Amino acid sequence: MMISTKMEILVVDDEPKQRRGLAAMVRSLRPDYKVHEAKNGKEALELAENRSLDIIFTDIQMPIVNGIEFLMALNQKGYNVPKVVFVSVFHEFGYVQQALRLGAKDYLVKPVITEHLEPIISDLERQLEKESTVQLETKSLNDQLAHTKPVYMEHLLYKWMTEELQAAERNEVMRHFTSNGHGTVLILETKPDDRMADELEWRSILKRAILQAYTPLAETMVVAPEHEKDRLYVIAVWKQGISGAECLDQLRRALSQLENVYNRSISAGIGKEFACIETEIRACCESAKLALQYLYYFPEGMWLSANELQRMLNTDGSPLVATKDTDALEKAVTESQLELAVLSLASLLDQMAAAYPSPFRLKCNATQLLLTCLKRVELVIDDDQYRILANRIDQDIIAAKSFRDTQHTAAVLLADMIKQMKKDKSSRSEMIMQKCREFVEANLHEDLGLELIAQRYFYNPSYFSILFKNNFGLSFTDFLVKARMQKARSLLLQTDLKIVEIAKQVGYKDIKYFNKVFKKMFLYSPEEFRRMFSS
């Protein structure tokens, strides 16, 4: 850093002429500097204590306090010692050597001349500039360390709670968290709030409130992981005679006030309590995480302890979801009954949730229900829209933060599925009729009927019959008979299959009836037709 402020220089000498002459010479060389004068070491010390001096030019032989004694007194201050230059006559050189050993920076021989003074002042300025730069760099480094060390300690504490520490890391943690005894870990979670400009400020407020509430009752450390911006981890060891329940009540009261002031909910997962938290810290943290995870089933702002969770999971769960219930949902979807489908889905999800499966498992079950419904209506939904809906189901259900959110998201997806089905079915009747024709022709050996085919393509049978005749110019029954007879004719001419086998392949179990229908269409019985027309 370049020296830009005015330096302060002191000239000390008991001889007025020598003192004033040297002071005047310094002023002429550095007009911007402030130059003080003192007639002995005692007066100089008083000035040094009250002023921020940079350079001192001092005589050696002076009354009351001489130059050597003055330098020793300055050194005893131990900090911000100015640069001292001794001014002496030639025969005092032995004193000058002693002064240099005590830390003097240079010396001048009386009478002082400008040519000797200028280089010394310039050299001292360079030294002061270099020291100033080093001091600023040191301060900057110290400031960085002051900021980094708490962050590093929080990182170590988080690691202590969640994984195995190296020996050196464990020793470092134990130096900062010396208390060991009965306690637990809490994990507090708040949702981001767009109205609050600075989430870091909110975390800081929350952190202070926790420490204020807990410090009288427990040794407490709060960890705010950078990668979990909505969470605070609280490690607490109860003080002698204090119960965990008492501490939790105190904290809940304190945080309840914050919730009211900032209109934000604070949820908490409370870990298992252990008599020796140091050895069970990871178990404490894992149980707190699990409790927090299961708050998925409850409204925001709830607190759930590991013990309460254990009681929930030990209760008898609801009966398994019945096949008839899933069938009812799929039927409502295929018949485009939106309200009934949404109600059926909500009922199924409620049944699943009653047994408190893990949130991930419940989301997977909800996803499977919706994908099964989507598969049922695959034939009448545009391929691109089908893929979009399938991706939304996979992503949106897993992303849901709560059971209520899962229910709402599932209902929206189901409604969008049914709306898309209605839209595509009305705009794609020609394509659907073509798919229907292909299906019939590929399955002539099956027991096909109007109602079965109409149901497959999600149409009312009466409407389907009209739509089919409009597209193909034949009723469904006539079309089916014609398709079967044409395939039977091909098999008679192109294969050596027995007539009874051909009849089965085109859907006729009664050979006499097959012969009758074939003769009616082609004027010859199957056997006569093969004999006359096969090559």
pLDDT in tens, 155-168: 888 888 988 888 88
Residue 2 pLDDT exceeds 50: no
Bridge-based pairing of strands 231-238 and 303-305 is unpaired
What average pLDDT score do residues 39-50 get? 88
Residue whose pair of structure tokens reads 């597209």 in the numeric block: 471
Residue (of 261, 291, 195, 188) closest to 230 by Cα position? 188
Whole-number mean pLDDT of the chain?
Answer: 86
Element (H, E) at 10: strand 8-12
The whole-angstrom separation of Cα 409 and Cα 363 is 11
The whole-angstrom separation of Cα 286 and Cα 222 is 16
The whole-angstrom separation of Cα 426 and Cα 505 is 34
Neighbours of 315 (CB within 10 A): 9
Cβ neighbours of residue 125 closer than 8 Å, sequence gap 6 or more:
3, 7
pLDDT of residue 152: 81
Which amino acid would we find at residue 275?
Answer: A
The whole-angstrom separation of Cα 2 and Cα 240 is 58
pLDDT of residue 148: 62
What average pLDDT score do residues 52-75 get? 87
Higher pLDDT: 223 or 316? It is 223
Q: Confirm whether pTM is higher than 0.75.
A: no
Confidence of residue 436 (pLDDT cuts 50, 70, 90): confident
Confidence of residue 349 (pLDDT cuts 50, 70, 90): very high
pLDDT of residue 314: 83
The tens digit of pLDDT for each residue in 376-410 reads: 878 778 788 899 999 999 999 999 999 999 999 99
pLDDT of residue 425: 67
pLDDT of residue 473: 85
Looking at the chain, the whole-number percentage of residues with pLDDT higher than 70 is 91
Superfamily of domain 430-533: Homeodomain-like (1.10.10.60)
Confidence of residue 343 (pLDDT cuts 50, 70, 90): very high
| Top mean-pLDDT range of 80-84, 136-140, 246-250, 466-470 | 246-250
Residue 21 pLDDT exceeds 60: yes
The CATH class that applies to domain 8-134 reads alpha beta
Task: Average the pLDDT over each of 101-110, 114-123, 291-300, 369-378 and give the range with the smallest value.
Answer: 101-110
Residue-wise DSSP of 166-226: PHHHHHHHHHH----SSEEEEEEEE---TT-S-HHHHHHHHHHHHHHHHTTTEEEEEE--T
Superfamily of domain 177-314: Reverse transcriptase/Diguanylate cyclase domain (3.30.70.270)
What average pLDDT score do residues 245-273 get? 90
Residue (of 93, 48, 38) closest to 73 by Cα position? 48
- Across 30-115, the runs of DSSP E, i.e. the strands, are 34-38, 55-59, 83-88, 106-109
pLDDT of residue 504: 92
The whole-angstrom separation of Cα 322 and Cα 379 is 26
Domains of the chain, by residue range, sit at 8-134, 177-314, 323-425, 430-533
Confidence of residue 36 (pLDDT cuts 50, 70, 90): very high
Write the CA distances from 355 to 265, 313, 401, integer angstroms.
26, 8, 19
What average pLDDT score do residues 211-229 get? 87
